[in-house]
Amino acid sequence: MTVRKNQSALTAEEKRRFVAALLELKRSGRYDTFVTTHNAFILGDTDTGERVGHRSPSFLPWHRRFLLEFERALQSVDATVALPYWDWSVDRTPRAALWAPDFLGGTGRSVDGRVMDGAFAASTGNWPISVRVDTRTYLRRSLGGGGRPLPTPAEVDSVLAMATYDMPPWNSGSDGFRNHLEGWRGVNLHNRVHVWVGGQMATGVSPNDPVFWLHHAYIDKLWADWRRRHPGSGYLPVAGTRDVVDLDERMKPWNDSTPAELLDHTRHYTFDTA
């Protein structure tokens, strides 16, 4: 059974294997298909039209399915690998071990944002940015460059306290847990972390930075935490909602699973915490 661990608890060997599996997916071309899929949904999901991956109730089950697909790809390279998660409310500075050269590498240099160390630095030749929105082919970051700090534990807690999963109009204007976690409204959790990292993570091709998976693995864990805290609250909407994925409707692009089928993560993996 896959156990997703806090990235801060990984051993040197676990980090080494995770990084090696990422590099092999990149080398084989499979990694970039995930970047392409994500950007297609970023461009296609709109508040007034069909919306599946973002700004909608299915933001959480869609990314759970997307991460499962990615984790299975990693495991096809190395069966011992699981996605770690990054609790950015605790490991909240560029000095965190997450950004050390033996793991994801650090922030970008000031002149052009280019990441200069770690396995994903352009100078290694192993991490070309191929699916891109501008001509720059090197991984970029500006950790904390926007000036706004990462969310605090208290801010996370304030969102976990929201008892209703989602609300009409089921988009970036909604009240409720999903949209506050996604960050279009309120204290802003998920969106703010993308902005804090900067570089490609702030764009539609954000999975170009491997931290994308660790960020979303933690967002996914917060959904699991929320479900345990609110056992009487279910996924909404349940049926008949135009442009929105209802509880028992299949999600693109896989068309093989519904939000209802993805509510229980323990069918696929567990977390290192209870």
Partner 1 sequence: MSRPTRRRALRGAAALAVGGGALAALPRTTASAASAAAHEQDGPAPFDEVYLGRRIQGRSGGGHHHHGAGYTVLVDGVELHVMRNADGSWISVVSHYDPVPSPRAAARAAVEELRGAPLVPFN
Helix, coil or strand: residue 114: strand
Report the nearest approach of partner 1 to the CB of residue 198 (Å). 9
String of contacts with partner 1 for each residue 151-170, x by CB under 8 A: ------------------x-
Of positions 34, 59, 70, 184, contacts partner 1 by CB under 8 A: 184
Of positions 135, 232, 239, 256, contacts partner 1 by CB under 8 A: 135
146 binds partner 1, rule: CB under 8 A? yes
192 binds partner 1, rule: CB under 8 A? yes
Q: Which residue has the tokens 């931290």?
A: 211
Report the nearest approach of partner 1 to the CB of residue 16 (Å). 31
Nearby residues of 250 by Cβ (< 8 Å), 6 or more positions away = 256, 257, 258
- Give the dihedral sign, CA 8/12/17/19: positive
Q: Which residue has the tokens 């990054």?
A: 86
As given in the structure block, the two tokens for residue 104 are 């994801």
39 binds partner 1, rule: CB under 8 A? yes
Q: Angle, nearest 10°, between helix axes 59-77 and 211-229?
A: 130
Please tell me the distance from the alpha carbon of residue 36 to that of residue 132, in angstroms, as a whole number.
Answer: 9
Measured CA to CA in angstroms, residue 216 lies from 50, 180, 189 at distances of 22, 15, 11
Report the nearest approach of partner 1 to the CB of residue 145 (Å). 10
Residues paired with residue 115 on neighbouring β-strands, in sequence order: 108
172 binds partner 1, rule: CB under 8 A? yes
Residues touching partner 1, count (CB under 8 A): 34
Please tell me the distance from the alpha carbon of residue 270 to that of residue 257, in angstroms, as a whole number.
Answer: 20
String of contacts with partner 1 for each residue 211-250, x by CB under 8 A: ----------------------------------------
String of contacts with partner 1 for each residue 115-134, x by CB under 8 A: -----------------xxx
Binding site for partner 1 (CB under 8 A): 39, 42-44, 46-49, 55, 111-113, 132-136, 146, 169, 171-173, 183-184, 190-192, 194-195, 202-206
